[in-house]
Amino acid sequence: MIEATGHIADKDLRQIAEKINNDIRISPDEGLVLFQKAELSLLAVLSGIVRRKKNSNLTYFNRNFHIEPTNNCIYNCRFCSYHKPAGDPESWEYSHEEMLDIVKRFDNKEVTEVHIVGAVHPLHDLHYYGKLIQKIKQHRPELHIKAFSAIELDYMIRKAGNTIEEGLRQLKNYGLDSIPGGGAEIFDGQLREKICDEKTSSELWLSIHETAHRLGIPSNATMLYGHIETYAHRIDHMERLRNLQDKTGGFNSFIPLKYKKANNSMSYLGEVSIIEDLRNYAVARIFLDNIPHIKTYWPMIGKDIAQLSLSFGADDLDGTIDDTTRIYSMAGAEDKNPEMATDEICKLIRDAGFDPVERDSLYNIIRYW
């Protein structure tokens, strides 16, 4: 299937390419070789092989919207442009009623998912957020609720005096369907101390997701890249995710999240290039052989790069969003008012040479477009 292996000068790359072509898992060292030595054209070919085997020519999207309850946070991560203290002109905190009003705006629309994630508010525990979930389910029972990063879950569950398992069970009883992948950042402990030292540890992040999977709550996974990490740190991060997926099978997708430089204390770093974005998507698709989907989050990376990433292993464009998220627009993302109509998403996918398919939150196909 890959005739190109005969034309690869580097012996290590040729052996890696043969493994990928034969569905043999590559090692962390081999993943590092791909980052360091593989040309972008080769990565496109290799990630395309994996993508087609897993997802044929399909590219997925869903109809969704976001609720961001607050940006008043107990943490102050150095890369974050979202956190604002109470009283700041850019700070907000929505009541349950205001958040229900957001849900009601979509009463006559064919949305299937609400994504709820925000800051770690100092005063709210799991029951505050559980009752919000309950109210949303009462209003629109069929709506899938994907809510709360592991960082939020850690705090709200501890504040309620529960263990992680007890808290997740209670949230599931309130109506929580799945959890997003935020807060993973980069797992290396030394790097975490430099960019988000106050935040939940990588070990606890992984434990929360493992517990959720065991309780029948699927999740996504993320990685923040393009700051002070090295390729070795990225591979270490993905290896920990791959190991947990071997154990639980509970991750639906992996979402590389690009560090954006606006309005935070790490702005001096700048941002990595589009070439680096595409390299990262490709290696992630190849290395994470047990996670079925690679999501390109277009509100963060922009529509054009998201479209390009489909040729570097990504197979999911997230969703319609409908201008309901501010996390990345506050950090300098190109799409200041992120929303895409279904027709626009489908055209973007087709123009890249792929077939659009609408999914639900668990990747069950709703319709082919």
61 neighbors 303 (Cβ within 8 angstroms) = no
**Cα separations in angstroms, 314 against 119, 256, 281, 305:** 28, 10, 7, 11
| Residue 309 DSSP one-character state | H
Alpha carbon 224 to its chain's center: 9
Alpha-carbon span 313 to 20, nearest angstrom: 13
pLDDT by position in tens, the chain (length 369)? 444 455 566 889 999 999 999 999 999 999 999 999 999 999 999 999 999 999 999 999 999 999 999 988 888 888 887 766 777 777 889 999 999 999 999 999 999 999 999 999 999 999 999 999 999 999 999 999 999 999 999 999 999 999 999 999 999 999 999 999 999 999 999 999 999 998 999 999 999 999 999 999 999 999 999 999 999 999 999 999 999 999 999 999 999 999 988 778 788 899 999 999 999 999 999 999 999 999 999 888 999 999 999 999 999 998 887 744 444 444 444 555 557 888 999 999 999 999 999 999 999 999 999
pTM of the entire predicted model: 0.92
Tokens of 105: 């705006």
Q: Using CA atoms, how far apart are residues 114 and 133, in angstroms rounded to an integer?
A: 10
N-terminal to C-terminal alpha carbon distance within the chain: 28
Q: Which residues of 269-307 are buried (b: 16+ CB within 10 A; e: fewer)?
A: eebeeeeebbbbbbbbbbbbbebbbbbbbbbbbbbebbb
Q: How far apart are CA 334 and CA 258, in angstroms?
A: 13
Where does 57-368 sit in CATH, by number?
3.20.20.70
Domain range list for the chain:
3-45, 57-368
* Nearest-angstrom CA–CA distance, 254 and 281: 10
Residue 62, helix vs strand vs coil: strand
The residues facing 184 across adjacent strands are: none
